[in-house]
Structure 1
């Protein structure tokens, strides 16, 4: 609730001025309907990546009330094309239109070919992300292209915020963080932190004169 109260106080301070507050809310999806509680080799992790991308929202994973409060009155929500993204957006704002775009897909991972090693799925994910930054990106988007895509995503979200006051994206944790860095570079202030947890929400705000 602290995040919601801070947003409301900031909104009230600007209510009687000629300053418009642009708000962009970046939300990570809820828990997917797939288990991470097992150890596997690199081939198994490659299969896991594909299964994770195809998985929908776990029926037991519900958004917190404060997140639903942030999305109240929103007519449209941006998502990626992934089921976990779209189903999470419906859970947060069931009456909103979903605006799905491949622009918001997660920054990809590839399973590194490390034989004779078995790790838990989270450990494979961390290792794969580190190697991705180090240059291991066989036939997938690299970091430079992900940053370029994030700039286009920030353009689209900012345009929506200028039109409606608020833009909401329910997508993926790592790519949301890349978008967030681009928004910060453009002068947006951040409320909240990008964390590795489901339903994590970060609000970016930018006052602009009318």
Structure 2
């Protein structure tokens, strides 16, 4: 059996190849001509203190508590961020409470589209005995070791990078539909998505900082 536009050998005919080239060109043209905007926002301050010193076992427990924490009720999004979210019918979030509650605080009118794809790149507490450090110092050390290959029973950098590419695909698709898409998620993974968007030609306004409610806007076209 043969298919229309294909040869018996299974290779597409000259006409079929020409049609495929035309479709690819039209898609590239539509992608580059449409004005797209993607807003990446870090969540607000979680309801858990970072001002504590602990050993590696304590930091391991802290990671779990941080992931389960919701938004600190006293942490309010800046007015300019709320203005930026006006007009959005939907906002993407991760499954973490601090992400979802932050999105509701920014745009209470918007539908939340929650997906584990947008979770933070994970950390594991390094088993370094006999030292006590502040939580921020443990986090920096853990992230450096994660990049160096320390990922016991957690997602590694290669897989997180692939996840960031998939996240960028979703955000771009939504922006192609609505002109703008927004994600309220996590600082480090947002930066990974941002690097993927930059690789695809998006220009950014702002920078990824270790700051709650930090927003970076990526635009194309």
Corresponding residue to 1:55 among 63, 69, 75: 69
Q: What is the rounded CA distance, in whole Å, between the counterparts of 1:43 and 1:188 in structure 2?
A: 41
The unaligned stretches of length 5 or more in structure 1 are 1-18
Secondary structure of residue in 2 paired with 1:26: strand
Map 1:136-147; keep pairs closer than 5 Å.
Answer: 136-147=150-161
Q: Where does residue 151 of structure 1 map in the other structure? A: 165
Q: What is the rounded CA distance, in whole Å, between the counterparts of 1:116 and 1:20 in structure 2?
A: 56
Q: Where does residue 205 of structure 2 map in the other structure? A: 191
Corresponding residue to 2:121 among 75, 87, 107: 107
Please say if 1:27 is aligned against 2:41: yes
Deviation at 1:92, TM superposition (A): 0.2
Corresponding residue to 1:163 among 177, 189, 193: 177
Q: What is the rounded CA distance, in whole Å, between the counterparts of 1:185 and 1:168 in structure 2?
A: 19
Q: Deviations over 1:45-84 (max 9, x none)?
A: 0000000000000000000011001100100000000000
What's the TM-score, normalizing by structure 2?
Answer: 0.85
Q: Where does residue 147 of structure 2 map in the other structure? A: 133
Q: Where does residue 110 of structure 2 map in the other structure? A: 96
Q: What is the rounded CA distance, in whole Å, between the counterparts of 2:214 and 2:157 in structure 1?
A: 22
Deviation at 1:21, TM superposition (A): 1.3
Deviation at 1:108, TM superposition (A): 0.1
Deviation at 1:187, TM superposition (A): 0.3
Q: What is the rounded CA distance, in whole Å, between the counterparts of 2:108 and 2:140 in structure 1?
A: 33
Q: What is the rounded CA distance, in whole Å, between the counterparts of 2:162 and 2:131 in structure 1?
A: 34
4+ residue runs of structure 1 moved beyond 2 angstroms? none
Please say if 1:202 is aligned against 2:221: no
Deviation at 1:176, TM superposition (A): 0.1
Q: Where does residue 181 of structure 1 map in the other structure? A: 195
The unaligned stretches of length 5 or more in structure 2 are 1-32
Q: What is the rounded CA distance, in whole Å, between the counterparts of 2:196 and 2:89 in structure 1?
A: 25
Q: Where does residue 90 of structure 2 map in the other structure? A: 76
What's the TM-score, normalizing by structure 1?
Answer: 0.89
Deviation at 1:159, TM superposition (A): 0.1
- State which structure, 1 or 2, has the greater radius of gyration over its C-alpha atoms: 2
